Structure 1
Amino acid sequence: MATVPMSFILILFLSLIGKESSCKISGFCACSLDNININTIRSGRVIQGKLEWNVTVINNCNCPQKLIKLTCKGFQTVENVSPSILSKVGDKCLLIGGKELVKSTSVKFSYAWDSAYIFWPSESIIVRC
């Protein structure tokens, strides 16, 4: 009978130490992908017959995040986006070459297509938290 509570405690302990090593606040990460906000608005410009869209990605986490990847399946543009800002690899886009995006900072880029593409954060690593 004592093995059931002991097994539960062991599983709980292993789940806490199994978290990303950069999540040091009581074993729980202080942030999640929900702390990466992405806003897309029309610029009012037209590029090669396509509407231009301005995208702002903001890290609202108290900790820096790196290796931020966004969903990109089906994303298209006739306007060049610098690969140092957004590089497409398969169905994901790597933001700022994987470098850290610190607290309350943003990255901006523009693209041109018929309609807005809805970017979603799909991965990130929280560092020095």
Structure 2
Amino acid sequence: MACTAKVTIILFLCAAAQAYCHAATDHPGTCNVSDIHVTEVPTGKVVGGQPEYRVTFDNQCSCPIAFIEVQCVPYLPSTEPVDQRKIRYVASGMCVLNDKLPLSRGSPVTFNYAWKTPPSFNVTSGVPQC
């Protein structure tokens, strides 16, 4: 009986150690800008004579990512106002996302803009917050 209890305790400790090691691998070193997915879809609306698009930035990493810079060359064109708290042009074809607040998994940043062709929003940098 005592031997069975010892084996049970050892198995429990091994399982706990394995779970801890698995959780420890989900840290900032494993998060990077490729974890931020960008989608642009037409809304079907026309604003100022231009088609409207909905852009979504979604973080697939468990760590929030802050200070996200996005390439938006040569500027952020739109015939409708874009929410500057969500994306803001700064200079040299670069924008900042979410007013430098962290982008967390399950809380995407979404905004609409209208222009003849959708610009390509390439994420260039971000800082994991874990």
The TM-score, its normalising length taken from structure 1, stands at 0.75
Letter in 1 for 2:90: V
What secondary structure, in the 3-state scheme, does the structure 2 residue paired with 1:29 have? helix
Aligned partners of 1:28, 1:65: CA distance in 2, in Å? 9
How much identity, in percent, do the aligned residues show? 25
Aligned partners of 2:106, 2:27: CA distance in 1, in Å? 23
Letter in 1 for 2:45: R
Letter in 2 for 1:84: R
CA change 1:48–1:27 in 2 (3 A) is closer
Aligned length: 105
Structure with greater helix percent = 2
Consecutive unaligned residues of structure 2, counting only runs of 5 or more, are 1-23
2:96 paired with 1:84: no
Consecutive unaligned residues of structure 1, counting only runs of 5 or more, are 1-23
> Larger radius of gyration, structure 1 or 2?
2
**1:16-44 deviations in Å (ceiling 9; x for gaps):** xxxxxxxx859971111110000000000
CA change 1:102–1:113 in 2 (3 A) is same
The TM-score, its normalising length taken from structure 2, stands at 0.75
Q: Output the aligned Cα RMSD.
A: 1.9
Q: Which residue of 1 aligns with 2:63?
A: 63
